[in-house]
Each structure stands twice: as C-alpha cells, then as structure tokens.
Amino acid sequence: MSTQRYSVTPHPIETLLTWVKSGEIAIPEIQRPFVWEAKKVRNLLDSLYQGFPVGYLIAWRNPTVRLKDGSLSAGKRILIDGQQRVTALMAAILGREVLTKDYETVRIRIAFHPLEERFEVANPAIRKNPAWIYDVADVFAPDSSLTDLTESYLENNPEANKRAISKVLEKLRKIINNHVGIIDLAEDLDIETVTEIFIRVNSAGAELSQADFAMSKIAANESYGGNVLRKAIDYFCHLAVAPEFYGKIKEGDRAFAASEFFSKMAWIKDVNDDIYDPSYTDMLRVAFTAEFRRGKLQDLVALLSGRNFETKQYEDVIAESSFNLLKKGILNFMNKTHFERFVMIMRSAGFVNSDLIGGQNAVNFAYILYLLGRAEDMKPNEIEHLVRRWYVMSLLTGQYSGNPETSFDLDIRQIDAQGLADYTSAVISARLSDSFWTALLPQQMDTSSSNSPYFMVYKAAQVKLNDRGFLSRDIAVRDLILNRCDVHHVFPKNYLKNQGLNKGRYNQIANFVIAQSEINIAIGDRAPDVYFKELMNQCSGSKKKYGGITDELEMRKNLTMNCLPESLLDGEVPEYEDFLEQRRFLMAQRIRTYFDAL
C-alpha cells in the first residue's frame, strides 16, 4: 500500500502566474519580504532560457472547514516553498514591484542581449546601449507583438539579422511555457505533518520556521482580516528599528493607514529605545502564548485553520475565534502602556541598554508574564517584582536556551494549572537554591564568553547596586555602560599571554572588570602585584596613577563592589587560576545580593 501523501504535477509557468494573480495560490503581497538579490532573479531567467530545471514548488490546500451554515469549504492553496522563485518570476516577467527586506518597494529589471543571448541586471550603462532590451517585462507584456519587438530592435541595431533576432525573441517569450513541478500535499494531512514538511524544506538557503508557516497562514486569510493582521505584525517590528518607515506606510499603504492597527502603533515611531526590538517571531510567540495559553506555534497554525483538537475536524467557528484572539494578543503586545512599562521593568532590573539583553526568548517570556499579570489585575509592584526575578532566573539557568517552544508550553500550562504567582515563586525557589549560588553558578562562570548570560547579569547587578567602576571614585558602572567603558583584565592580557596562556584562559569573565578607558590604559600590561602595590602607595600619599581614589577604606570598598579580594592590596596576589576561582565565588554572591533586591 502506498504511503505517498502528495502528488506531483507539471504546470506551465504561465498557468502558475495566472493562478497567483487570481488568488488560486496564495502569495499575499506582504507574504515575506523579497530577500533575493537581483542577480539571483537574472540567474533564474537564464536557467529557464537554457531549459534547465528550477526546482519544485510545494503547495498545500487549506483543510476543508465546516462553515456556520453546515456547508464545507476548501481553502486556497498555500505555497509553502517557492515563494521567492514565484515572486522573482512575477517581478521579472510581469514587471511587478516587490517589497524588499528593508520594506522598500522596488522594480527589479532584468535586461536581455539578443545578439549574445545573455541576461543581466539592468543598469544605467545598459539603458544607454541599444544592443540590450532594457526590461524583459516588455517582451512578455500582453499587448506586445513579436513582429513589433523585432522591428524595434532592428531600428536600433541595423547590423543584426532579422531572422536570428526574431528566433531569439520567440525563444525568450516561450520560457513561460516551460513547466514547473508543483508538489501538492494531500489536503487531509494533519497540521503537524505539514508543519514538519514546511520546516524541513529550505527556501533561498534559509531554513523556514514554524513562525514563518504561521505568518504565511495568517497572511493568506482575508475572511477574518489575517492579511491586515500580518501587516500589523510586520510593520510594528520594522518601526521598532526604523521609525522613519512610518511615513512610507502612511503614504504608501493608505488602506493599512486607515486600519485600527496603524493608530495604535504610531507611538513607536517616537521611541529610540532598543532594549526590546521584537521580530515577528517574538511578537507571535508572546501574543499567542499569552492569549491562547499554549507555547507551540504549530498549535497556532492548527487553530487558525479551524482545528478542533477533540474531534480532529476543522470548523470555521474555531478559525474565526482564533483569528479574533490572536488579534487581541497582537493589540495587547503593541499597546503603548504595556510595551513601555515592560521596558521600564527591564531597565529597573539593571538592563539599561541592548548590550546587556541576553536570551531573546527569555525577554519574550518575561513580557508574557507581564501581560498575564496585567490580565489578572495584579498590583503593579507585584508584576514588576515577578517579571524581574523570572527574567534573571531564566538567564542564569538557561530556561529558554534549548527548545523554547517546549519550555514555553510547559511553563504556560503550569501557570494555568497552579496560578501565576504560585508557579513562578515555586520554580525560582527550586532553581536558585543555596547550592546554586555557592557551587553551580561559580562553576558555570568558568567561561571566556563576554556575551555569556552570567556576565550580562553580573553587569546588570552592578548597575542595579549602583557600583562604581573599577578604581573610579565617582563614575558609576551604569554611566560607563551607557557611555563608554573598557572591559579591563585584572591580570592584564599580555602579561598572561607572556606566560603562555591562551585566549580561552586570559579572557575569562572572572578576569574582567568594568573600567574607565584611561584607567585601563594607565595600568597597561603591568603585573597585578606591581599595580596593586602602587594603588596602596596612592592611598598613602604617593602620586595618583590609577583613578582618583586616595583613601584606603574607599579603595577597599571599590575592590569589594567589583568582587575583588581586598587581600590584593595587602600584597597577597594569588596564582591566576586561584584568583579566578575566588572571584567567581565573589561575583556569584554579588549577583545573589542583587537578585534578593529585585
């Protein structure tokens, strides 16, 4: 018995383009920004002209859903692989504009040289050269005539052979008769299987995600405003990083500008904060998990398709309610009060700029917790306390560093079952036990990655605790991080390199302190026993060499807040590896002090 769950049928490119124009195959205008470079479009046309295969397209017809009146309706085909190729064909052959990854609308013109039978991306030099047809879309225009095209070309190129040019142009026009294989997935395939196929397939060299599939599903829907919702998600995320795009939406997409979404996202154009710049994946995860109380995006695809998880059937009423619920989640996400207060909470935990933000999924779940707290009418100070502690805990324990969907799903279901405050409190107590602070965290801090979550949290702790920079009398770590600072090696890098240590050892985070550039430069490559002795002399009236601290008690306090043993000032400089072990423990305890204050 055959287990094949698909059919393969060749179709002429002309037919495929007709289907796209008529909506038989859904490629919404903002399906995915066109990421191909123009030369890839040129190469695609050349392959078609040479008669080479250009790969298969994969389509899946939305499952049949039961409508409110009891009748059945089969949905459009969704093109789940081949979007970029079809968009390239529409751009080059039909002369359609495309939306780039920078959200700019452009025309991609491919030129053709009939004498050399060569394609090239159109440019000003080609435009001036009569031997080129500047835009092949002119050849495929419905009202174009082969005779007229040939005559026009000969007028500008009298030396050309009429018969040869006519044959070449005819060959070019016939590429729309070339066949492309369309793999139609069986419409009775379950969502999970189609999602797996979707993720396994590569498009333009980039693996597609469940978020991509969900976005395609949203964009393909017009009945419940999915096409507009998709734009809202994309536009908000783009405005977060490029506020100047606001004017382009207002003038270039008047229909969207008149929608309820546009006015509700307008505020973000005036925000320059980059602590949380969400992608569409982030926005989907947060909105879906907060509203649907599920963590797996394949469930979102199923629900938007109308899946009844109990009967395994597809019902229009479920699709409609799912789109409405997702819309609510998206509006909550982009709500000015929600978004700005969440960012404020992150800042209040010491994460004062984007360089300190680690683990985007940890940020996403922290925002989910904020939205859940708001929905439960928790007191603002309780929400802030909960969100700060959970975010730091999730960074330190790698809560979402593995498979975030599984972790999201587990956490949100347990929150549903146990309650928000009870579950989060229980998890934090279990994960951050005494042994975590005294043994596990110091052990995990044996790393040379300055981007490790442990060093990020350590710096946030110094910000929150108002610590001064290393050897700084007046300048706080917060100010150094927000402006300009150096990461100074307590045991200088070249000093350790001269002892034969490799990068993985001399760049240990336990060897790093946040310092002013001038202090870092002044210390240079001096051995620690040398410059710490000079620091003591500085406190005894000698010339100031490193920073402005001249009081011994103040100097010892500065070392303590930077998690350095005071004994360094007493001439007790340990071996480097012993120093690292001592400092990891001190850094872990500083982080614990910070965490307890959150």
- Please state, rounded to an integer, the average pLDDT across all residues of the chain: 88
Residues 411 and 466 in one domain: no
Residues 28 and 112 in one domain: yes
Helix intervals (H) in 99-158: 124-128, 137-140, 146-156
> 560 or 29: which carries more pLDDT confidence?
560
Residues 521 and 582 in one domain: yes
Give percent of the chain above pLDDT 70. 92
Q: Within the chain, how many helices (H) and strands (E) appear?
A: 31, 15
CA 169 to CA 529: how far, in whole Å? 81
Residues 276 and 295 in one domain: yes
Give the model's confidence band at 579: pLDDT under 50 very low, under 70 low, under 90 confident, else very high.
very high
Mean local confidence (pLDDT), 64-84: 64
Residues 454 and 425 in one domain: no
Looking from the CA of 122 toward its CB, the CA atoms found within 13 Å total 17
Residue 465 lies in a domain: yes
> 359 or 399: which carries more pLDDT confidence?
399
CA 28 to CA 20: how far, in whole Å? 9
Torsion of CA 224, 226, 228, 232, to 10 degrees: 130
Residue 162 lies in a domain: yes
Residues 350 and 392 in one domain: yes
The neighbour count for residue 503, using CB atoms within 10 Å, is 10
Question: Which pLDDT belongs to residue 31?
Answer: 43
Which of the listed residues 368, 403, 432 is the one where a domain comes to its end?
Answer: 432
Question: Which pLDDT belongs to residue 190?
Answer: 67
Residue 437 lies in a domain: no
Asked whether residue 141 carries a pLDDT value surpassing 60, the answer given is: yes
Residues of the domain holding 311: 209-432
Token pair recorded at residue 245: 């795009």
* Closest listed residue to residue 209, CA positions, set 404, 412, 362: 404
Per-residue pLDDT of 366-384, as tens digits, reads: 999 999 999 999 999 999 9
Which of the listed residues 432, 457, 474 is the one where a domain comes to its end?
Answer: 432
Mean local confidence (pLDDT), 421-439: 96
Asked whether residue 103 carries a pLDDT value surpassing 80, the answer given is: no
Residues 348 and 393 in one domain: yes
* Closest listed residue to residue 227, CA positions, set 29, 32, 86, 87: 29
CA 52 to CA 44: how far, in whole Å? 9
Residues 163 and 214 in one domain: no
Which of the listed residues 166, 185, 202 is the one where a domain comes to its end?
Answer: 202
CA 316 to CA 322: how far, in whole Å? 10
DSSP assignment, residue 313? -
Q: What is the pTM of this model?
A: 0.79
Residues 238 and 355 in one domain: yes
Phi and psi dihedrals of 161, rounded to 5? -85, 120
Asked whether residue 67 carries a pLDDT value surpassing 60, the answer given is: no
DSSP 3-state of 180: strand
Residue 291 lies in a domain: yes
Residues 38 and 64 in one domain: yes
Residues 454 and 398 in one domain: no
Residue 271 lies in a domain: yes
Torsion of CA 457, 459, 462, 468, to 10 degrees: 170
* Complete DSSP assignment for 372-411: HHHHTT--HHHHHHHHHHHHHHHHHHTTTSS-HHHHHHHH
Residues 302 and 409 in one domain: yes
Per-residue pLDDT of 479-498, as tens digits, reads: 999 987 778 899 999 999 99
Per-residue pLDDT of 275-316, as tens digits, reads: 999 989 999 999 999 999 999 988 998 899 888 888 888 888
Helix intervals (H) in 143-189: 146-156, 162-173
Question: For the chain, how many structural domains are there in total?
Answer: 3
DSSP 3-state of 514: strand
Question: Which pLDDT belongs to residue 3?
Answer: 60
